[in-house]
Amino acid sequence: MMDVVQIQKILPHRYPFLLVDRVVSCDEGEHIEAYKNVSISEPVFEGHFPGHPIYPGVMIIEGMAQAGGILAFESMGKEDQDATQDKVVYFMSIDKCKFRNPVTPGDRLVYKLDVLKHKGAIWVLQGKAYVDDKVVAEAELKAMIVDK
């Protein structure tokens, strides 16, 4: 379990772009489950869409990627973990991305990612996002950990 204060020690993202509220479980090198509580008070809902608020798909994928970044950093060796302030995760590709159902204010968006491949600084992850155990989005993400 990891709260938002611990997450901010790993990820460089901050409001309004930190999209992971809590990590529920993290099996190093294998799997992560995290979530974001979607609130009507988020700035994105001012324009997406007035009177019909829908959480943007790109934000769902970005949150999924941030959870994947936490998994990658947590899977590094102890010496490397101490150097995470000097590193950042860059997206390389998003493949097989599908949006299944809309996400609206009040939803808890649960991210579940599994490592498909890891070689050196490159990570390939299979991610799914859920609301109430229903898949709302899925994608295969490729990322690289690099020096800032």
State the number of CA atoms in the 13 A half-sphere of 29 facing the CB.
Answer: 5
d(CA 74, CA 32): 10
d(CA 140, CA 85): 26
Question: What is the phi/psi pair of residue 67, to 5°?
Answer: -60, -40
d(CA 75, CA 98): 27
Which is the catalytic residue, given 13, 31, 48, 118?
Answer: 48
Residue 48 a catalytic site member: yes
Catalytic residues: 48
